[in-house]
Structure 1
Amino acid sequence: MRKTFLIFYLLLFISSYTYAQESKLPKGWDKISLNGKIAYMNLITGDVSKVLPINPATKPQKKIKVEYDPTITHIVQKGETLSTIARMYNLNLGKLYQLNSLENFDKIEIGDEIVVGYEDLKQKKEVSSIDEKSTEVNVEKMNHIVGSGDTLYSIAKQYGKSVTEIKSMNNLKSNTIFIGQRLFIE
């Protein structure tokens, strides 16, 4: 009789162990121990939950701040020259040269970005004030020396600024810059 009960309990244990379903965690979650209790960690954000998650972990959506940039550019296509580009935008070559600060105007390549003008600034931007006491100034990073092929647009893009901001920081009245010119970049 003892053997029968032992076999019965053993079969009961094996069947319950075999058919028991452990709740599967959604993608991006991991089971952890928090103060001796089971918790769940979002592997993407690092958030911890004491409740079994239902949905897969996702990266929180960041609000993208769209900045108005008045620069109008043209991407050079196969067969285009500066003359044809100037005609497309009703510009003379002198104005195109002035807008782009190119060293060699005969060597434009497919895919080059050519500045063809600037739109009127339609809306003012909010300027956030910077607490000067809490920021350390690195003089090396605050200046940009204009090189061959640099435009206000390309420099603004490089530093994550707008053309208007760079012009304002440097008291520039026009969009003309010169090779060797030192521009203040905050």
Structure 2
Amino acid sequence: QAKVPSAVYEPPKGQYFRHVVRRGETLSRIASRYGVTVRSLRSWNRLSSKSVIRPGQRLRIWLANAPATQKTSSKVVRYTVRSGDTVFSIAKRYRVSISAIKRANRMKTFDIRPGQKLIIPR
């Protein structure tokens, strides 16, 4: 019998960030929040279908190679903060609440700086 080589894991191209799992979160909820599939989350984080995520666990969330303001899915927009931006002005531009931006980016304050990358939930 010939052996079939096992699949080699190759991370997607582009940037990723880390999501720290909170109590009560599921892969499905996390995937929905960032506009990715559960299957992708499992692949990126080498999780089997039987793996259980735990609070404090760090998951990689990959974002497509796209300009900062281009939609990467129907649920999320990546935005690069420009000089003069405020969380309020960005929220107004994208018609989302400032608390939604704060929550999506796990911000403790509303302080932002030019060049900072934000996730805008849609």
TM-score (normalizing by structure 1): 0.26
Structure number with larger C-alpha Rg: 1
TM-score normalised by the chain length of structure 2:
0.39
